């Protein structure tokens, strides 16, 4: 049950009548006990659920102004859903029978500022009492089924307005004036059961706005809900329609999904319904058939487990916010495997599978996918860098790493080092407890070694012992490529041997410079 503790017992049975309102709803039953004879609203179990939705002072003031003008005003959608779930309510979204020009007039005495960027869709924004509010005229839109932009038509009825919304749990409203609860499509019951349905038929809803299919997966990830069967069937049938949506909106939804409390569930919806084939094809591509000898894991299942484990490590830090760079790196770290899979001869007649250099290919594919989704360049580079580096550690356990190799590991990771630690530790999904413990102990040893070197050296900001100005003064040369080559040589020595000290660095520089001169 998703409802907060204060309303957890609301849905014992729902007695409401809504013949007209449900005429377009999908046929998934909302509860076992209900009659469909007329309009309605509240469950009989605890009276009016609207009383359980706090009305902030800002909303109460707005309600008084609208009521005095003979206009209706409802708190609607996400704020109502979140309040019933016991989640914090940040945004204030309202719907009204007043038209945009009338809304502007009504809020003029309360708002410190207004914005009209959405006025062509009936939405007026206002800053009231320090809180942003969005107020939208009842809508009765139609869609051209080519874009996701509606042909805006203002409505006169709250039930009609709620029917055009994406999901029933977002199609609940509370009258600001009298706390009347409006739920013509069974959103409260669906919220209690954790089921995602659409007010209209799923095919009609997703045909109007295909982004809603991606939002369905996102709500699974954020709220832990499940999809009603008709919703799943419609998404599977209509997944290709998602290509109508701009990549910016797709990126935003994928980020919200990955930042959710249950991202694995949302990703499984994407893959199982075919949505991922449209927006993130590298993910379903990981479901490679295992070879006949079972020589490698299901890379898709492994990837989801790595993501779960990375999130668990992320959340060990008190107050940690979702780390999208880490989560994307965990999700994409093995996407180079399908392209690099090779079967080679093993002992006897056995065949072994290899994925040589999949981290290199994976970094390239990561950059390409994130660029296609229009991710910021710095975020793209960071995620691809983690993908590229995630295998570097596996050479450490063989005892081949010198202090120089440790320095390079730290330097190559740079500010991503803590994330790289989490990613590498998460990449162990073996069921062999002894092997898992050995890998964890080896990485512990590497982190301890990094800590010791940090105490001795400035590992996080490794520089040569001489800077460019000193190089030019010692060699008596002017700025140019030669200074850069000298600097690079001293940096290599610093990596290999640690701090040289000024005198030895000068000696090494002079020796190098002498070797550059023509004989």
Q: Are strands 92-96 and 131-137 parallel, antiparallel or unpaired?
A: parallel
Q: What is the mean pLDDT of residues 281-301?
A: 74
Identify the pLDDT of residue 232: 98
Residue 127, burial from CB neighbour count under 10 angstroms (0-12, 13-18, 19+): middle
Does the pLDDT of residue 363 top 50, yes or no? Answer: yes
Please choose, from the candidates 46, 12, 49, 47, the residue with its C-alpha nearest in 3D space to the C-alpha of residue 32: 12
- Quick one: pLDDT band at residue 302, thresholds 50, 70, 90? very high
Does the pLDDT of residue 39 top 50, yes or no? Answer: no
pTM, to two decimals: 0.79
Percent of the residues in the chain that have a pLDDT greater than 90, as a whole number: 55
For the chain, helix (H) and strand (E) counts, in that order, are 22, 13
For tokens 């204060």, what's the residue?
A: 6
Identify the pLDDT of residue 146: 62
Most confidently modeled range among 12-16, 141-145, 303-307, 501-505: 303-307
Does the pLDDT of residue 378 top 90, yes or no? Answer: yes
Does the pLDDT of residue 361 top 60, yes or no? Answer: yes
For tokens 């706005």, what's the residue?
A: 209
Please choose, from the candidates 299, 297, 306, the residue with its C-alpha nearest in 3D space to the C-alpha of residue 283: 299
Q: Say which CATH class 201-280 falls into.
A: mainly alpha
Q: How far is 239 from 150, CA to CA, in rounded Å?
A: 20
- For 319-327, which contacts have Cβ atoms below 8 Å and span 24 or more sequence positions? 322/258, 322/259, 322/260, 323/419, 324/255, 324/258, 324/259, 324/379, 325/379, 325/382, 325/383, 325/386, 325/416, 325/419, 326/386, 326/419, 326/422, 326/423, 327/258, 327/259, 327/263
Identify the pLDDT of residue 388: 97
The tokens for 432 are 């062999």
On whether the 284-460 domain is CATH 3.30.310, my answer is: no
Domain ranges in the chain are 5-200, 201-280, 284-460, 463-516
Identify the pLDDT of residue 15: 35
- Quick one: pLDDT band at residue 456, thresholds 50, 70, 90? low
Please choose, from the candidates 25, 505, 509, the residue with its C-alpha nearest in 3D space to the C-alpha of residue 231: 25
pLDDT, greater one: 195 or 47: 195
Does the pLDDT of residue 34 top 90, yes or no? Answer: no
Does the pLDDT of residue 36 top 60, yes or no? Answer: no
Q: How far is 208 from 486, CA to CA, in rounded Å?
A: 63
Q: In b/e form, how buried is each residue of 346-361, taking b as 16+ CB within 10 angstroms?
A: eeeeeeebebeebbeb
Q: What is the mean pLDDT of residues 140-155?
A: 68
Please choose, from the candidates 62, 183, 182, the residue with its C-alpha nearest in 3D space to the C-alpha of residue 111: 62
Q: How far is 281 from 289, CA to CA, in rounded Å?
A: 16
- The mean predicted confidence, pLDDT, of the chain is 85
Distances (CA, A) of 305 to 226, 257, 327, 385, 444: 20, 16, 12, 21, 21
Percent of the residues in the chain that have a pLDDT greater than 70, as a whole number: 85
Q: How far is 237 from 213, CA to CA, in rounded Å?
A: 11
* Span of 21-30, 35-44, 439-448 with lowest mean pLDDT: 35-44
Fold of 5-200: Beta Polymerase; domain 2 (3.30.460)
Rg over CA atoms, the chain: 30
Q: What is the mean pLDDT of residues 357-375?
A: 97
Q: How far is 486 from 498, CA to CA, in rounded Å?
A: 17
For tokens 């008084």, what's the residue?
A: 64
Does the pLDDT of residue 116 top 60, yes or no? Answer: yes
E-strand stretches of 249-360: 342-345, 351-354
Q: Are the C-beta atoms of residues 48 and 181 closer than 8 Å to each other?
A: yes
Identify the pLDDT of residue 121: 87
């Amino acid at each position: 049950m998703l409802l907060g503790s204060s309303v957890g017992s609301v849905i014992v049975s729902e007695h409401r009548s809504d013949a007209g309102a449900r005429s377009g709803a999908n046929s998934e039953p909302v509860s076992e006990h209900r009659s469909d004879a007329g309009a309605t609203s509240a469950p009989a179990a605890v009276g009016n659920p609207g009383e359980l939705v706090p009305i902030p002072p800002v909303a109460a003031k707005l309600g008084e102004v609208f009521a005095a003008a003979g206009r209706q005003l409802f708190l609607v959608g996400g704020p109502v859903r979140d309040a019933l779930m016991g989640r914090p309510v940040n945004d204030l979204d309202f719907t009204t029978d007043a038209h945009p020009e009338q809304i502007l007039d009504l809020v003029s005495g309360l708002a410190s500022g207004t914005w009209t960027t959405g006025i062509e869709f009936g939405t007026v924004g206002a800053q009231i009492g320090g809180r942003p509010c969005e107020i939208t005229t009842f809508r009765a839109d139609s869609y051209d089924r080519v874009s996701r932009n509606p042909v805006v038509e203002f409505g006169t009825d709250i039930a009609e307005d709620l029917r055009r919304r994406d999901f029933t749990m977002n199609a609940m409203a509370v009258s600001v004036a009298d706390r009347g609860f409006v739920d013509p499509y069974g959103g409260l019951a669906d919220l209690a059961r954790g089921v995602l349905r659409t007010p209209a038929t799923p095919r009609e809803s997703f045909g109007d706005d295909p982004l809603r299919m991606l939002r369905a997966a996102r709500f699974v990830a954020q709220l832990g809900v499940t999809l009603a069967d008709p919703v799943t069937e419609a998404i599977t049938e209509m997944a290709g329609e998602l290509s109508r949506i701009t990549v910016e909106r797709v990126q935003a939804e994928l980020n919200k999904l990955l930042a959710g409390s249950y991202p694995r569930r949302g990703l499984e919806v994407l893959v199982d319904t075919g949505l991922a084939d449209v927006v993130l094809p590298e993910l379903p591509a990981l479901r490679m058939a295992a070879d006949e000898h079972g020589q490698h894991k299901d890379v898709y299942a492994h990837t989801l487990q790595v993501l779960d484990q990375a999130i668990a490590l992320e959340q060990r830090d008190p107050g940690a916010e979702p780390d999208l760079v880490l989560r994307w790196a965990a999700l994409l770290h093995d996407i180079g495997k399908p392209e690099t899979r090779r079967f080679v001869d093993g002992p006897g007649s056995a065949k072994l599978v290899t994925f040589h250099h999949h981290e290199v290919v994976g970094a390239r594919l990561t950059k390409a996918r994130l660029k296609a989704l229009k991710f910021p360049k710095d975020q793209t580079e960071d995620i691809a860098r983690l993908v590229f580096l995630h295998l570097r550690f596996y050479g450490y356990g063989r005892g081949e790493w010198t202090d120089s190799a440790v320095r390079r590991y730290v330097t190559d990771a740079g500010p991503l080092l803590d994330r790289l630690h989490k990613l590498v530790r998460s990449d162990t999904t073996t069921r062999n407890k002894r092997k898992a413990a050995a890998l964890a102990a080896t990485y512990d040893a590497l982190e301890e070694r990094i800590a010791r070197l940090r105490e001795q050296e400035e590992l996080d900001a490794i520089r040569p012992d001489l800077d460019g100005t000193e190089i030019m003064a010692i060699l008596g040369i002017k700025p140019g490529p030669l200074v850069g080559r000298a600097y690079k040589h001293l940096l290599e020595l610093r990596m290999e041997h640690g701090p040289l000290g000024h005198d030895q660095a000068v000696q090494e520089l002079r020796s190098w410079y002498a070797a550059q001169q023509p004989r």
